[in-house]
Amino acid sequence: MPSARSLQFVVGATCLFAVSLASQSLLKQQTLSDGVVVQIIGGGDRQGLRIMRNGRKIYKNMLNNGTITLMCVRASEDGNRYNVAVRFGPAGNFYKAYAIVGNRVFPSPKYRNTASGHKNVPADWSTPDRLEIKGTQPNTLSFDPATEKWHLAKGIILD
């Protein structure tokens, strides 16, 4: 009997430890309406993005390059579409956008503003499907819902 109790204690402690580690890996969460949750996961320079819909993971992407900042927008009246932009990198000059359509996610190409000395290059959604990236090398990422593709206004600065 004593060995059975010891085994229960070890199993219980292991489960508690695993839950504790999982909770530490969630850095930030933004809850949108219509069951959409966007989470920044990881830590330090190894951060990524996880997108959930109605409690189920529909997408995960580890960006692994600095701290992540989120910019989210509702892209349709019925709540079926959302667009999420992330700014990341040591100087905050990398961008990637994600279109959420139902339970599918369409990632954009990665844009890098290569202007020297630029840090934390600002960006904002000018329309629900158009991300305006400012700075000395402005650019635009646009999502076309009909083709389900992202377009970059100046395609020469992809990384």
In this predicted structure, the answer to whether residue 24 has a pLDDT above a threshold of 90 is no
- What pLDDT shows up at residue 12? 35
133 versus 117: the higher-pLDDT residue is 133
Specify the DSSP class assigned to residue 8: H
In this predicted structure, the answer to whether residue 143 has a pLDDT above a threshold of 60 is yes
Residues with Cβ within 8 Å of 139's Cβ and at least 6 positions away in sequence, in order, are 111, 113, 133, 152, 153, 154, 157
Encoded tokens for 141: 């990422």
Which of 16-25, 94-103, 113-122, 143-152 has the lowest average pLDDT?
16-25
Residue 154 — pLDDT band, cuts 50, 70, 90? confident
Q: State the pTM of this model.
A: 0.79
Mean pLDDT on 58-83: 92
Q: What are the φ/ψ torsions at residue 52 (nearest 5 degrees)?
A: -120, 145
3-state secondary structure of 10: helix
Rounded to an integer, what is the distance from CA 77 to the centroid of its chain?
22
Name the β-bridge partners of 56.
53
Q: How far apart are CA 42 and CA 22, in angstroms?
A: 10
Which of 58-67, 92-101, 116-125, 133-142 has the lowest average pLDDT?
116-125
Residues constituting the chain? 159
Name the β-bridge partners of 50.
39, 60
Encoded tokens for 5: 């109790």
- What pLDDT shows up at residue 22? 43
